[in-house]
Copies of this chain bind each other. A is one copy, B any other.
Amino acid sequence: MSTVPLPADAEADPRVKAVFDDIRATRKTDHVNNLWRALAFDPALLEQTWADVKRLMAAPTLLDPLTKEMVYIAVSIANACSYCVHSHTAAAKVKGMTAAQHAELLSIVALAAKTNQLVTALQVPVDPAFDAARAA
């Protein structure tokens, strides 16, 4: 199911084909996953979203690729995005995440969620020492 059509011939549109070709070349795989096929219902949205993802997640940046995937997974879990958890966990494994690293990542996400709730429940005032604007 989906809220937009998932046409088999999406690449008949040259703008869609260009993005799909770039995904295949960038990721060195023939598999264009369903998110991109769904986004193809609007070529401009497809182009912009892929450009954002490619720039930050597929190109070398300050943070190493696996750290970036782990942060992405953490956010996707917190936002309860089933598809995103699946796709980024698979991507992290491709980038070398071991089962032990996966387990530790989950432990941290779960601990953070737990203490997030405690803090919100207690409505703790922020310590002045944490304020980065003080010295500005």
Contacts and interface: CB of A to CB of B under 8 A. Distances in A.
A85 B131 CA distance: 11
A115 B110 contact: yes
A86 B123 contact: yes
Contacts of A41: 99, 102-103
A104 B64 CA distance: 11
Tell me if A's interface is mostly helix, strand, loop or mixed: helix
B106 A117 contact: yes
A65 to B, nearest CB: 11
Interface of A: 1-8, 31, 33-35, 37-39, 41-42, 44-45, 48-49, 52-53, 56-57, 61-63, 67-68, 70-87, 89-90, 93, 99-127, 129-133, 135-136
24 contacts: A1-B132, A1-B133, A2-B125, A3-B132, A5-B132, A6-B133, A37-B124, A52-B114, A61-B104, A63-B108, A73-B121, A75-B117, A77-B120, A77-B121, A78-B79, A78-B117, A79-B116, A79-B120, A80-B80, A83-B119, A84-B116, A93-B132, A113-B114, A113-B116
